[in-house]
C-alpha cells in the first residue's frame, strides 16, 4: 500500500495519483521565437474570425449545413487547416504544441490518461444512460458513430489545439502563466467560439449560466495543459465531453 501511495525512491506521491492533483512533471520549455509566436496569434485570428465563419457561410449558401455528413467534413477541414498553417506558415512541429509521441509521455501522464478517459466515459454514460438505452436500439449505430460521435471528438480536439495549443501557449509566453491562462480562457468562454449563447440568452436569460460552466471546464483544461504540456490529454477529454453532450443531443 505504501508503494502504491508514495514513490519510495524520493518519497513523493506515486505517479498513479499525481495526475489527479495536477502534479505532472514540468513540461519542456516551448522553443520558438517571437515572430513564430506572433504567427500563432495570427493563425488563431484567421481560423476563428475569418475561415471558420467563411466555411459556415459557404455551407449555408450551398445548403449543405443540414446534410448528415457535413459536420464530419467541416471539423476535418478545420483541423487539417490548422495543422497545415502550423507546419507551413508558423513552421513549428506538433510536439512544440504538446502533440508528442506516447513514448515521450511521462509515467504520470500515461497513468492519468489511462484512468481519466475510462472514468469520464463511465460518468457520462451514467448520467446519459436513458438516452444511451434508446440509442442502442437504433439500427444505424455505425452511421451514428461516424457522422455524430467522431465529428464531436475531432471538434473538441480542434478547440484545444486552437485555444490551448496556440492561443494559451503564446499568451502565457507574453503575459506569464496566470495572466496568459486567464486571458486565453476568457476568450475561449466569451469569444467567437461560444458567442452564440448570447443570442440564446436574449430569450432565456438563465442560459447565461452556460458561460460559468464553460469557463470552469476551460480553466481545468488550461491548468492540465500548463502543468503537463500534453495537448493529447485535454483534446481527447474535450472530445469525449462533446460526444456525450453535443453528440447525443444532436441525435
168 closest CA partner among 6, 176, 233, 208: 176
For the cut 60, the answer to whether the pLDDT of residue 84 exceeds it is yes
Those residues whose C-beta lies under 8 Å from the C-beta of residue 91, and which sit 6 or more positions away, are 36
For the cut 90, the answer to whether the pLDDT of residue 59 exceeds it is yes
Cell of 87: 507546419
H or E stretch covering 13: strand 12-13
pLDDT at 2: 53
What is the average pLDDT score of the chain? 92
For the cut 90, the answer to whether the pLDDT of residue 1 exceeds it is no
Q: Which of 4-8, 60-64, 196-200 has the highest mean pLDDT?
A: 60-64
Residue spans per domain, the chain: 21-106+115-250
For the cut 50, the answer to whether the pLDDT of residue 191 exceeds it is yes
For the cut 50, the answer to whether the pLDDT of residue 237 exceeds it is yes
pLDDT at 9: 47
pLDDT at 8: 43
Confidence of residue 3 (pLDDT cuts 50, 70, 90): low
Question: pLDDT per residue over 8-54, tens digit each?
Answer: 445 478 889 999 999 998 888 778 999 999 999 999 999 999 999 99
142-151 contacts: CB < 8 A, separation 24 or more?
A: 143/68, 144/251, 146/72, 147/68, 147/69, 147/71, 147/72, 148/71, 148/247, 148/250, 148/251, 149/243, 149/247, 150/72, 151/71, 151/72, 151/74, 151/75, 151/76, 151/247
Task: Kindly tell me the sign of the dihedral angle through the C-alpha atoms of 80, 57, 154, 91.
Answer: positive
Question: pLDDT per residue over 108-140, tens digit each?
Answer: 999 999 999 999 999 999 999 999 998 888 888
pLDDT at 10: 52
pLDDT at 202: 87
For the cut 50, the answer to whether the pLDDT of residue 81 exceeds it is yes
Amino acid at each position: 500500500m505504501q508503494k502504491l501511495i508514495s514513490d519510495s525512491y524520493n518519497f513523493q506521491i506515486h505517479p498513479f495519483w499525481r495526475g489527479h492533483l495536477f502534479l505532472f512533471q514540468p513540461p519542456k520549455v516551448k522553443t520558438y521565437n517571437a515572430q513564430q509566436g506572433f504567427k500563432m496569434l495570427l493563425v488563431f485570428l484567421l481560423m476563428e474570425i475569418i475561415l471558420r465563419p467563411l466555411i459556415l457561410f459557404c455551407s449555408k449558401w450551398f445548403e449543405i449545413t443540414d446534410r448528415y455528413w457535413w459536420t464530419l467534413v467541416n471539423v476535418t477541414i478545420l483541423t487539417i487547416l490548422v495543422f497545415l498553417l502550423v507546419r507551413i506558415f508558423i513552421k513549428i512541429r506538433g510536439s512544440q504544441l504538446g502533440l508528442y509521441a506516447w513514448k515521450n509521455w511521462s509515467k504520470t501522464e500515461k497513468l492519468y490518461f489511462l484512468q481519466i478517459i475510462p472514468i469520464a466515459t463511465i460518468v457520462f454514460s451514467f448520467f446519459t444512460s436513458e438516452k444511451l438505452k434508446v440509442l442502442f436500439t437504433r439500427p444505424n449505430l455505425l452511421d451514428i458513430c461516424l457522422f455524430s460521435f467522431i465529428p464531436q471528438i475531432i471538434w473538441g480536439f480542434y478547440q484545444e489545439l486552437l485555444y490551448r495549443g496556440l492561443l494559451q501557449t503564446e499568451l502565457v509566453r507574453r503575459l506569464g502563466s496566470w495572466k496568459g491562462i486567464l486571458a486565453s480562457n476568457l476568450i475561449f468562454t466569451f469569444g467567437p467560439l461560444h458567442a452564440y449563447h448570447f443570442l440564446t440568452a436574449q430569450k432565456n436569460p438563465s442560459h447565461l449560466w452556460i458561460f460559468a460552466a464553460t469557463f470552469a471546464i476551460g480553466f481545468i483544461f488550461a491548468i492540465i495543459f500548463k502543468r503537463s504540456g500534453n495537448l493529447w490529454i485535454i483534446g481527447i477529454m474535450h472530445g469525449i465531453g462533446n460526444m456525450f453532450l453535443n453528440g447525443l443531443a444532436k441525435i
